[in-house]
């Protein structure tokens, strides 16, 4: 079991459900979960913005066209809301990854063999007595 992770820690899960099924904690689901929460947050901000625009339209129809002056601030609030959701999600990701960029799990067929060092110094011609 020691060689499964290669000593580099847990990798980013390929999918949320496959990461949740990983009882050995070799895959991190935080990145996928934050992605789902980001989409939900953007949808919530979008729905709230559309509802606020509907209120502005109703007020404009009832009390006069001057209420349409509130439409640009409502749209700006929606944009600020989406940016707030994005920054919050990035902040949470940075807290979980300790400032390192998340990396996908490498394909086992393409990873170098650490025991034989096939892509290391021996492959470059270094480490030989005559080199």
Distance CA 18, CA 16 (A): 6
Determine the pLDDT at residue 5: 44
Q: Which of 93, 127, 124, 121 is nearest to 12 (CA)?
A: 93
> Partners of 27 in the beta sheet?
11
Instruction: Find the DSSP H helices in the chain.
Output: 16-20, 30-63, 71-97
Position 11 pLDDT exceeds 90: no
Model-wide pTM > 0.85 = no
SS3 assignment, position 70: helix
Place of tokens 């902040």: 91
pLDDT digits (tens, 9 = 90+) for 50-106: 999 999 999 999 998 988 999 999 999 999 999 999 999 999 888 887 766 656 555
Distance CA 30, CA 84 (A): 19
């Amino acid at each position: 079991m020691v060689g499964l992770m290669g000593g580099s820690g847990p990798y980013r899960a390929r999918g949320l459900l496959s990461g949740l099924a990983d009882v050995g904690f070799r895959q991190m689901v935080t990145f996928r979960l934050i992605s789902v929460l980001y989409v939900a947050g953007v949808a919530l901000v979008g729905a709230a913005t559309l509802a606020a625009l509907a209120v502005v339209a109703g007020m404009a129809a009832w009390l006069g066209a001057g209420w349409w002056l509130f439409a640009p601030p409502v749209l700006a609030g929606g944009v600020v809301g989406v940016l707030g959701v994005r920054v919050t999600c990035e902040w949470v990701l940075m807290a979980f990854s300790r400032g390192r960029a998340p990396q996908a799990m490498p394909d086992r067929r393409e990873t170098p063999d650490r025991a034989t060092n096939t892509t290391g110094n021996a492959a470059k011609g270094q480490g030989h007595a005559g080199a």
